[in-house]
Amino acid sequence: ILNVEQSPQSLHVQEGDSTNFTCSFPSSNFYALHWYRWETAKSPEALFVMTLNGDEKKKGRISATLNTKEGYSYLYIKGSQPEDSATYLCAFLHSTDSWGKFQFGAGTQVVVTP
Amino acid sequence: NAGVTQTPKFQVLKTGQSMTLQCAQDMNHEYMSWYRQDPGMGLRLIHYSVGAGITDQGEVPNGYNVSRSTTEDFPLRLLSAAPSQTSVYFCASSYYTGELFFGEGSRLTVL
């Protein structure tokens, strides 16, 4: 059972446009949410580790927000570039689970076209 | 910097054969884990370990064994491979509460 859902499954963005997508997770017993960027033929790489309701994190043109009370996190890409093309994964950890028992979403595949 | 190293990168097995996927990390991370990645399913946790001598089951542990005799190594054993175990396997490690560092993946095909 996939308790962590990401939407949309995929999206196409024109270079220079901004976009955002969602990770939904159970709103009870929150411990942590991670975002990872996964380029084709490479390994997932961490973007953000988020632990507090209201957290906002930023790395370059990519930012994320966290709402643990309603169970969602948004990832934003501002001014998309072709190098932003990747699958973006979120990973959720329950407070009732031992550290490391992450549940990953299926990912949002982003394709940025010039 | 080696990070997380997985071997082999590719493997083809026949049904019923056994094999071990190796994972080693040189970052002194307490936590190590194995995931499998299947289309449309995201990464699913197989087994994980929070330290040497300690392992626990994840979401899809059946058909896999693990052990953690050292901090650095976390091998994944398939005792009797089945076609349903055809997948891409990722090993990951982290400090407690930190981000996961992934290996490059091992593509396994079971015929």
Q: Is A59 on the interface with B (CB under 8 A)?
A: no
pLDDT at B1: 65
Would you state the pLDDT for residue B8? 97
Contact A4/B at CB under 8 A? yes
Cβ neighbours of residue B62 closer than 8 Å, sequence gap 6 or more: none
A36, A91 in Cβ contact below 8 A?
yes
Number of C-beta neighbours around residue B104 at 10 A: 15
Mean pLDDT in order along chain B per 10 residues (111 residues) = 91 97 96 93 92 94 96 97 97 90 96 96
Give the pair of three-digit tokens for residue A87.
């699958």
Q: How far, CA to CA in Å, does A62 sit from each of A15, A110, B42, B83?
A: 14, 13, 22, 39
* Alpha-carbon gap, residue A46 to A59, rounded angstroms: 11
CA triplet B36, B41, B43: central angle to 5 degrees? 35
> A residues 66-105 near B, CB within 8 Å?
89, 91, 98-105
Q: Report yes or no: B75 and B20 within 8 Å, Cβ to Cβ.
A: yes
pLDDT at A29 (0 to 100): 87
Predicted local confidence at residue A2, as pLDDT: 55
Residues of chain A in contact with residue B99, where contact means CB-CB under 8 angstroms, are 34, 46, 49
**Residue A19 pLDDT:** 97
Cβ–Cβ gap A101/B94 under 8 Å = no
For A8, which DSSP code? -
Q: What are the residue ranges in chain A where pLDDT is below 70?
A: 1-2
